[in-house]
């Protein structure tokens, strides 16, 4: 009854680990665990003698403890003998290959579409073949792409006065959570808050957002500040309400960098497709409800985002785009999180609860915090600021030199000549293939001739494939060159 959410999670986890088992099954094991406990669990699982299966979005955790990843993507299952870092590399290779196939199909579709617009210029059999090919490519060009969440930064203008905390104290009976804490938030602060479960992290957020009365000290909030609070637990959602109606409670239209967007369009950006928008909230999964809750918070256009364990129950794709969104968000972000990867991407300053109510500040992200902490206990690890500065200066100089170079795309002489004739080359190869097919049909009983023709056809198919790949490359390059002229 008196335990925090993280403490209850820790008790349940210990009970599971103490139960004899051949296979451990863990569902989001690091949710609600503090960083120290997550690191302990990492060490435990790396030494665990048996097998375990887990679902998790914790990317550092995945990287440390797994040797096989099973990905479910659009109804397909892909297996990778890898940890998370290697999985990302292998997945990128798979998507590059899939993307190349898709780009090729779309480029072929563009070429065939142009041919269809011009009309048939050859005999009827060729016209029929090209028409069938056009329909096939048309279908392939409509292959569903991976669902990705895309968010445009939304915020309300912020004045000079932000959030100011002076000498804040807060305790519950003898448990001192916050002692003499002072901080004035800067307009684009990215604050990550860490500490053990039950130490007072959420209490600090509630002092800011819910005006929880401190025992002593004062808090001042500027008149232009608009707070958005993404809590550990979703706000109440009426299960009988449709997704689109829940979002419309916030706004029917919002202004983004792309112009006015409807609630339905924002739902689409958050992977709630047309049919899902009219589904009842009660039919959504826990992760989908979490995503819907996040959408509503962002649509309110706050200029201060307060996030309490935002990564819980969000999928990795949504997390990646949320991190990208926070990178362009023109306001203040304050986040309690156990997700070390998220803290590395988001934070530029760490507030660490270090016991007895002390909140110590560290410049940088979570990895910087860990490095600083390790330096205080290891006098042999010295940082040479001069060397670091020299490296940064050299890097900046190299970037500046690169930017001064002429990096505009252009055809080589041979590419330009090839681009001018490649359509005719492809049509010639297709005609040769049709004639070879006719010859094969007439040589059905002449096996010697048939083998020769099959070899010829194989060579023509290979040549056509190479030509088509060149056609895709040259046309993509031509489009990019044209785009440069417009910029």
Name all domains of the chain by residue range, CATH numbers in brackets.
5-74 (no CATH), 163-383 (3.40.50.300), 395-487 (1.10.287)
Q: Are 284 and 7 in contact, with CB atoms under 8 Å apart?
A: no
- 381-411 burial, b if ≥16 CB within 10 A, otherwise e? eeeeeeeeeeeeeeeeeeeeeeeeeeeeeee
Average pLDDT over residues 407-426: 79
pLDDT at position 123:
41
pLDDT range class, residue 466, cuts 50, 70, 90: confident
- Tokens representing 369? 């915090």
Share of the chain above pLDDT 70, in %: 78
Name the nearest CA neighbour of 331 among 306, 360, 362, 365: 306
- Tokens representing 244? 């689109």
Mean pLDDT across the chain: 80
Lowest mean pLDDT among 48-52, 292-296, 481-485: 481-485
pLDDT digits (tens, 9 = 90+) for 189-208: 999 999 988 899 999 999 99
């Amino acid at each position: 009854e008196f335990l925090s959410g993280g403490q209850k999670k820790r008790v349940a986890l210990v009970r599971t680990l103490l139960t004899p088992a051949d296979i451990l099954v863990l569902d989001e094991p690091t949710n609600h665990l503090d960083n120290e406990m997550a690191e302990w669990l990492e060490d435990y699982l790396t030494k665990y003698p048996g097998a375990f299966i887990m679902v998790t979005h914790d990317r550092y955790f995945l990287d440390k403890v797994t040797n096989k990843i099973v990905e479910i993507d659009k109804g397909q299952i892909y297996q990778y003998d890898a940890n998370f870092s290697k999985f990302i590399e292998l997945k990128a290779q798979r998507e590059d290959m899939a993307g190349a196939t898709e780009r090729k199909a779309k480029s072929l579709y563009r070429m065939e579409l142009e041919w269809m617009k011009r009309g048939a210029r050859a005999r009827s059999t060729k016209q029929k073949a090209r028409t069938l090919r056009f329909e096939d490519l048309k279908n392939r060009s409509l292959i569903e792409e991976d669902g990705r969440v895309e968010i445009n930064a939304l915020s309300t203008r912020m004045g000079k006065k932000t959030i100011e905390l002076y000498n804040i104290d807060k305790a519950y009976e003898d448990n001192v959570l916050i002692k003499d804490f002072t901080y004035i938030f800067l307009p684009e602060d990215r604050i990550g808050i860490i500490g053990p479960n039950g130490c007072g992290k959420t209490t600090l957020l509630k002092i800011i957002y819910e005006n929880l009365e401190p025992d002593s000290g004062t808090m001042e909030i500027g008149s232009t500040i608009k707070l958005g609070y993404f809590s550990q637990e979703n706000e109440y959602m009426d299960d009988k309400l449709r997704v689109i109606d829940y979002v419309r409670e916030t706004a029917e239209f919002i202004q983004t960098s792309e112009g006015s967007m409807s609630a339905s369009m924002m739902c689409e950006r958050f992977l709630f497709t047309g049919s899902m928008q009219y589904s009842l909230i009660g039919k959504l999964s826990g992760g989908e409800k979490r995503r819907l809750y996040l959408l509503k918070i962002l649509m309110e256009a706050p200029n201060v985002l307060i996030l309490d364990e935002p990564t819980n129950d969000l999928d990795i794709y949504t997390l990646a785009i949320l991190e990208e969104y926070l990178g362009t968000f023109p306001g203040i972000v304050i986040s309690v999180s156990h997700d070390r990867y998220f803290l590395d991407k988001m934070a530029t300053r760490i507030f660490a609860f270090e016991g007895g109510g002390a909140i110590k500040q560290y410049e940088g992200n979570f990895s910087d915090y860990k490095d600083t902490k390790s330096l205080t206990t290891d006098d042999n690890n010295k940082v040479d600021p001069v060397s670091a500065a020299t490296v940064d200066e050299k890097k900046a100089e190299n970037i500046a030199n690169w930017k001064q170079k002429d990096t505009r795309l252009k055809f080589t002489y041979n590419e330009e000549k090839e681009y001018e004739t490649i359509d005719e080359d492809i049509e010639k190869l297709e005609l040769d293939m049709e004639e070879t097919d006719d010859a094969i049909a007439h040589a059905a009983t002449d096996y010697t001739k048939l083998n020769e023709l099959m070899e010829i056809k194989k060579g023509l198919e290979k040549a056509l494939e190479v030509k088509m790949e060149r056609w895709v490359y040259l046309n993509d390059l031509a489009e990019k060159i044209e785009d440069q002229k417009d910029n």
